[in-house]
Amino acid sequence: MSKFRVYHYPQCSTCKKALKWLSAHDIAVELIDIVKQPPSKRELREALASAEVPLKKLFNTSGVSYREGKFGERLATMSEAEALDALAADGKLIKRPLLLGKGLALVGFDEAAYRSKLS
């Protein structure tokens, strides 16, 4: 099985739960600090298609960057390209963890989703 890339924030409790789950299930991952090295616009576009979620689901709606950037109001009028540019520029805007694999993307940590997609 191929290794998954996991964009995470080391201090994030949800990320820690996801990494603990992945470790307990012997799933190999490459850890990438989402703040120091956010995913590229291309990776985000692929994640959006693979995760089959609305664009807003890629955003960390409870984060400071989201609130300070007024994305709650702005997102409705932004193009997909503009939204992906904003995400690629600020890892704190992205809902985490973000797990990427070949044809697979999981946004956030939902144990049932991890179990169904990774087991």
Ordered by where they begin, the domains of the chain are 4-118 (3.40.30.10)
Alpha helices in 1-119 (DSSP H): 13-24, 41-51, 64-68, 71-74, 80-89, 111-118
Give 24-81 pLDDT, tens digit per residue.
999 999 999 999 999 999 999 999 999 999 999 999 999 999 999 999 999 999 999 9
Task: Give the predicted TM-score (pTM) of the model.
Answer: 0.94
State how far the Cα of 26 lies from the Cα of 71, in Å rounded to an integer. Answer: 37
Residues contacting residue 39 through CB under 8 Å, at least 6 positions apart: 7, 32, 47, 87, 88, 91, 94, 98, 100
